[in-house]
Amino acid sequence: MEKMTRLGKSDLVVNPVGLGTNAVGGHNIYPNLDEEAGKDVVRTAIEQGVNFLDTAFIYGPERSEELVGQVVKEYMRDDIVLATKGAHQFEAEDVVINNSPSFLKKAVEDSLRRLGTDYIDLFYIHFPDDVTSKDEAVGALKELRDEGKIRTIGVSNFSVQQLKEANKDGYVDVVQGEYNLFKREAENEMLPYTAEKGITFVPYFPFASGLLAGKYDENTTFDDFRAKNPLFQGEEFKLNLAKVNQLRPIAEEKGVDVPHIVLAWYLNQPSIDAVIPGAKRTQQVVDNLKTLDVDLSDKEISNIDDLFS
Ligand code: NAP
């Protein structure tokens, strides 16, 4: 069942179905989750052949990295492709974004310590700041790559213009940005650029925070950030649920469920080599791996495209 794939021009080889660990620890946008349950999610992923783990300093902050690192220590480090992100700086009461070379170098050292490892497979600049030139920021990561502290360079939440500046010397391997069937702006300029340059694009919020996993109905309520997310409000929520429901017949015909069709559709888009769905329960991790069994025909791909256009 396992179909491995390479990230960009790098030598990182991953299972296309990875794991987003934003919820692990329950300290970030998804509250009230047990730390041990979070570690079990990560453990289950690794046991089931998921080797691409996505975390960040700000998830917690710090705690998702620490918990992921604790689980990774139970396995062979080289079997796992560990991605993390940094750029958030705590200043008194405020959090600011800092892409300065000195700050990014410190951020990598701090992530290494929290993860309990001596190399990070993929380090992303989590958000762009307004002042640092992006090639200078990536230049700092190139130095860390030459030192063996990170293996590949990523940027996240960059505009196409910022990405072009960041990639002036061709050092960017992976871009992470918001993209899902409800948020498709990346198709305009981002995906054509990453495809042309051989850069992998990793979409975040692939399930639009669960909406595209196909299990909610009009009566579902939320006690976290989704309570205010426009996709989950009133008439728009109902319309979105109706669109998701139109995926059911396609899923049923293939003997899978809606989330697998959704993830498989992304994996058919240019430069999307891997996905990192979040999960709160071990069962969701196991379930999402069924994506690897889905082959979508060109007609099915374009039908889904039309449903959400
Ligand atoms: P997501 O992947 O869009 O949605 C995750 C939610 O989908 C889960 O909490 C669960 O919802 C539901 N789900 C997952 N698998 C399911 C299944 N098989 N069946 C039914 N429901 C399922 O949202 P996310 O976790 O927030 O985002 C994914 C990852 O992207 C994050 O973990 C993080 O690593 C990354 N990310 C990056 C950035 C960035 O700035 N670079 C920003 C946000 C996220 P329930 O709550 O209903 O259980």
pLDDT digits (tens, 9 = 90+) for 184-210: 999 999 999 999 999 999 999 999 999
Q: Is the CB of 22 under 6 A from ligand 1?
A: yes
SS3 state of residue 2: coil
Confirm if 205 and 177 have CB atoms less than 8 A apart: no
Q: Is the CB of 291 under 6 A from ligand 1?
A: no
pLDDT > 60? residue 77 = yes
Residue of the CA atom closest to atom 16 of ligand 1 = 284
> What are the tens digits of pLDDT across the range 138-188?
999 999 999 999 999 999 999 999 999 999 999 999 999 999 999 999 999
Quickly state the pLDDT bin for 28 (edges 50, 70, 90). Answer: low
pLDDT for res 2: 55
Beta-bridge partner residues of 202: 176
Residue 279 CA to ligand 1 centre (angstroms): 6
Residue 216 CA to ligand 1 centre (angstroms): 14
pLDDT for res 191: 98
Q: Considering the chain, what percentage of its residues have pLDDT values greater than 70?
A: 98
Q: Is the CB of 210 under 6 A from ligand 1?
A: yes
pLDDT for res 1: 43
Closest CA to 206 of 184, 232, 226, 187: 184
Q: Is the CB of 288 under 6 A from ligand 1?
A: yes
Residue 294 CA to ligand 1 centre (angstroms): 20
Domains of the chain and any CATH numbers: 5-211+259-299 (3.20.20.100)
Pocket probe mutation, ligand 1, options 22, 30, 64, max atoms within 8 Å of Cβ:
22
Residues recognised as catalytic: 59
pTM: 0.97
Residue of the CA atom closest to atom 6 of ligand 1 = 210
**Tokens (6 digits) for 81:** 């492709």
pLDDT > 50? residue 71 = yes
Q: Is the CB of 83 under 6 A from ligand 1?
A: no
Q: Is the CB of 44 under 6 A from ligand 1?
A: no
pLDDT > 50? residue 129 = yes
Residue 237's alpha-carbon distances to 45, 68, 214, 233, in angstroms, are: 31, 33, 12, 5
Q: Classify residue 171 as exposed, middle or buried by CB count within 10 Å of its CB (0-12, 13-18, 19+).
A: middle
Q: Return the residue matching tokens 């951020």.
A: 107
Q: Is the CB of 205 under 6 A from ligand 1?
A: yes
Q: Which atom of ligand 1 is nearest to the CA of 226?
A: 46
- String of DSSP letters for 91-127: ETTEEEE---HHHHHHHHHHHHHHHT-S-EEEEEE-S
